[in-house]
A and B are shown apart, each in its own frame.
Chain A
Amino acid sequence: MLTLSVGLTQYMVLSAILFGIGLFGVLSKKNAIAVLICIELMLNAVNINLLAFNKFVTPTQFIGQIFAIFVITVAAAEVGVGLAIIIAIYRNKLSVNLDEFDWLKW
């Protein structure tokens, strides 16, 4: 019988993989929408971390869970703002290609 024991390490590895995928996406995607989605991935990696620590380190308290809910809330707001910015840019440029968005340049 194959026993699968899922411990803190496994959660953290999963979280790290998810964070890495998100980071890679953020750094490499051309599409602004895709970048936003990848940010969500990174945030959720953090959420997994928070919940795993909550479960294994302080099971009697709910600090980690509360933090995760906070992160979800903030992420929702952030996506709202981010999408609004992208739409505004799209109206100007008729594009969501990040390579064309270099207005912060000197």
Chain B
Amino acid sequence: MVDFAMQHAWLVPLLPALAFVVIVFLTKPWQKLSALVAVAGIVGAFVFAALAAYGVFTHPEFTEGSLVYGVRWLSMPGLHINVGIMLDPTSAMMIFMVSLVSSLIFIYATGYMKGDPGFSVFFSYVSLFAASMLLLVLSSNLLEMFVGWELVGLCSYLLIGFYTHKISAREAAKKAFVTCRIADFGLLLGMLSLQIVFGTLDLPELAQKIAHFHQYTSAGVLTLIAVLVFLGPIGKSGQFPLHVWLPDAMEGPTPVSALIHAATMVVAGVYLVGRMLFLFSEIPSAMELVAITGAFTALFAATIAITQREIKRILAYSTVSQLGYMMLALGVGSLSASMFHMWTHAFFKALMFMGAGSVLTALHHKADVWEMGGLVKKMPITAWTFVVGGLAIAGIPPFAGFWSKDEILATALNSHHYVLFAMGAFTAFLTAFYMWRLIFLAFFGEENPANHPVESPWNMTVPLIILAALATVGGWVGTPWDNVWSQWIFFGEVEHAAPNYGVMIGSVILALAGIYLAYQLYYVDREKVKAKALAERYHGIYTLLFNKYYIDEIYLWFNHAIVDGSAKLFYLFDIYVVDGIIVNGLGAFTRLSGEGLRITETGRLQNYALVFFLGVLIIAVALAFSSPSAAGLLLGGVK
């Protein structure tokens, strides 16, 4: 059975894809049946994924090489594209994680989406979403991966804009799609260059060829390719400066936010960079770019999250920030730490988004955390699971986030990236602060009498409890003392870092400091006088952060000034040059010359005859001048 699952890993993406087809064409009118099909599809995928992962992690030879099989997709002279499955520890972990988190989210969604008119459609979309992500993860070929990549983008567009009656949802969907398209263009160019330079897009073959890239191309070209490829993940994984779509993506139904932020969408970018690490690691400057982008994004998004008021927006910025951590880990060369953080993050972020969804359902979609308060009394399960998520993301041992974040910080320090390490450590403090600000404001303190919350039904709370358990124990596979994780998932050499107690204690102190600060400002101080005074005192910074550094406004300005401005210029060119001179000019010329020539048509035969005669005369004279023999013939007659 395990062997079967490993040899037929293509069933993992196929099952949810089948669920999508079945729902769209057959079961759409019956809501409960549609949900059942979707859940069956993803749970089936999870079972296969779990079996395949079990197979991989019981065969140590997989640390040496991967299981690759596939078929030729298209073949023409000079271009051969294969599609196939590449099963190695990284992809096995990913399919396990993606299908597990997706399964829980699907079950949760059966409760959350109850009564929605688009219930069946929703489940068809999320099935396709999960299928695309699983395809992306298992791909052995970059083009195949790109297909999954674009399908993920399409599904996110459909799902973010799921509430089509809301203008903001439609706008957010467009924003997500366009932003990702810009980034994907870079990725596409990078892929084309890889195909041109190396003649293949198969990942194992590319890895071999790029290891000896000097035979094919110069370092400069490879740097360009790496930067182009990295553009895709910048968009998809919400790195600065293309992060703008991710916070708006919360416009979709909350299970979708959980899917996008935890399992299916944004980690695709990190995963792609991880898969292509053989490319980036050849170019130190590209690695630096990845690391700096990641560290900057982590800090940047964390500072924004401090001031936000909407519960899902805070979580969205925390996702951006955590993705920055993953990129930072990749940039300093540790696939292991990056994937580990992705793994733990998937659990606690899905947990917190679904907790937020549970809160929103109870409060009839009132999203401002300042208007919540004391929810722990009425919604204990949601609140306490959320607290577990908060502990995990803040990095308190023994919760999952502690181990992965600690590993990233330690790796950054060990690779002598001191500035990036400091940024990461400060971000850890900010993370603890803003997340616990949310928790104290929403779940503790005094109840808001305007709210009448009730705990959510079992199909929403059970996934929360399972995820809370995973967010607690999920990190134990990668403790520094017995790091099973990095023995399996690594790039290059297995990393044998000794436990760095300094970093560990330091990060725990930072996290506790953040939590304590939030406790003082938002729990002890019931009237929030100090918090408001701080916001008043640093009004400029507060406004800057609250408006997310005005990045959206800058893009808007750019659009207005540069894009619209140049469009106006081209419009004028079109009106006056193309239409004015070329199109109308040609017409006017024809008309005027017609008017002029009309006068010569007198209707008198003798005038015409005169013209004939003059014409013949002119031709004769011209011939006489141009060619001597003709002149002889005309003037001299016959000799």
Interface size on A, residues (CB 8 A): 18
Q: List 21 A-B contacts (CB under 8 A).
A: A8-B638, A9-B637, A12-B637, A26-B609, A27-B613, A28-B606, A53-B638, A98-B606, A99-B604, A101-B603, A101-B605, A102-B602, A102-B604, A103-B603, A104-B601, A104-B603, A104-B604, A104-B605, A105-B601, A105-B602, A106-B601
- Taking beta carbons and an 8 Å cutoff, which residues of B are in contact with A? 598, 601-606, 609-610, 613, 637-638
In the complex the two chains form, is A26's CB within 8 Å of B606's CB? yes
B638 and A106 within 8 A (CB): no
Question: Is A83 at the interface (CB under 8 A from chain B)?
Answer: no
| Closest Cβ neighbor of B638 among chain A residues | A57
Determine the distance from Cα of A23 to Cα of B638 in the docked complex, in whole angstroms.
Answer: 23
Chain A residue numbers with a CB within 8 Å of B604 are 98-99, 101-102, 104
B637 adjacent to A8 (CB under 8 Å)? yes
Give the chain A neighbours of B603 by CB distance below 8 A.
101-106
Closest to A53 in B: B638
Task: Give complex CA distance A99, B605 in Å.
Answer: 9
- Tell me which of A9, A23, A27, A98 has the highest count of chain B C-beta atoms within 10 A of its own C-beta: A27
Count, A-B residue pairs, CB within 8 A: 36
| A105 (CB) vs chain B CBs: closest residue | B603
Chain B residues positioned under 8 Å from A23 (CB to CB): 613
Known A98-B604, A103-B603; further 17 A-B contacts with Cβ < 8 A: A12-B637, A23-B613, A26-B606, A26-B609, A27-B609, A27-B610, A53-B638, A57-B638, A99-B604, A101-B605, A102-B603, A102-B604, A104-B601, A104-B605, A105-B601, A106-B598, A106-B603
Mask: chain A, 1-45; 1 = CB below 8 Å from B; 0 = not? 000000011001000000000010011100000010000000000
Residues on B with C-beta less than 8 A from A105 are: 601-603
B606, A27: Cβ atoms under 8 Å? yes
**Complex formed: what's the CA distance from A105 to B604 in Å?**
8
A99 to B607, CA, bound (A): 10
A53 to B639, CA, bound (A): 12
How far is the CB of A29 from the nearest CB of chain B, in Å? 8
List chain B residues, Cβ under 8 A from A98.
604-606
Chain B hits for A102, CB < 8 A: 602-604
Q: How far is the CA of A104 from the CA of B601 in the complex (A)?
A: 8
Q: How far is the CA of A73 from the CA of B439 in the complex (A)?
A: 118
Closest 7 CB pairs of A and B: A105-B603, A102-B603, A104-B603, A106-B601, A102-B604, A27-B610, A106-B598
Contacts of B609 in A (CB 8 A): 26-27
CB A56 to nearest CB in B, in angstroms, measures: 8
The docked-state distance in angstroms from the alpha carbon of A99 to that of B603 is 9
In the assembled complex, which residues on chain A have CB atoms less than 8 Å from the CB atom of B602? 102, 105
Q: Which residues of B contact A106 (CB under 8 A)?
A: 598, 601, 603
Q: How far is the CA of A35 from the CA of B603 in the complex (A)?
A: 16
> B608 — nearest CB in chain A belongs to which residue?
A104
Residue of A whose beta carbon sits closest to that of B598? A106
Report how far A13 CA is from B609 CA in the complex, Å: 23
Contact with B along A64-106 (1 / 0, CB 8 A): 0000000000000000000000000000000000110111111
- For the complex formed, measure the closest distance between the CB of B305 and the CB atoms of chain A, giving whole angstroms: 81
Residues in chain A near residue B610, CB distance under 8 A: 27
List of B residues within 8 angstroms of A99 by Cβ: 604
How far, in angstroms, from A10 to B602 measured CA to CA in the complex?
39
A44 to B501 alpha-carbon distance, docked (Å): 126
Which residue in chain B gives the minimum CB-CB distance to A102?
B603
- Point out the residues of chain A lying under 8 angstroms from B637, CB to CB: 8-9, 12
Q: How far is the CB of B338 from chain A (nearest CB, A)?
A: 84
| Complex Cα spacing A50 to B605, Å | 28
Closest CB in chain B relative to A49 CB, distance in Å: 10
Name the A residues within 8 Å of B638 (CB-CB). Answer: 8, 53, 57
Chain A residue contacts of B613, Cβ below 8 A = 23, 27
CB distance from B437 to the nearest CB of A (A): 88
Q: Which residue of B lies closest to A23 (CB)?
A: B613
Q: How far is the CA of A9 from the CA of B609 in the complex (A)?
A: 28
Min CB distance, A79 to chain B, in Å? 16
List B contacts of A35 (CB < 8 A): 606
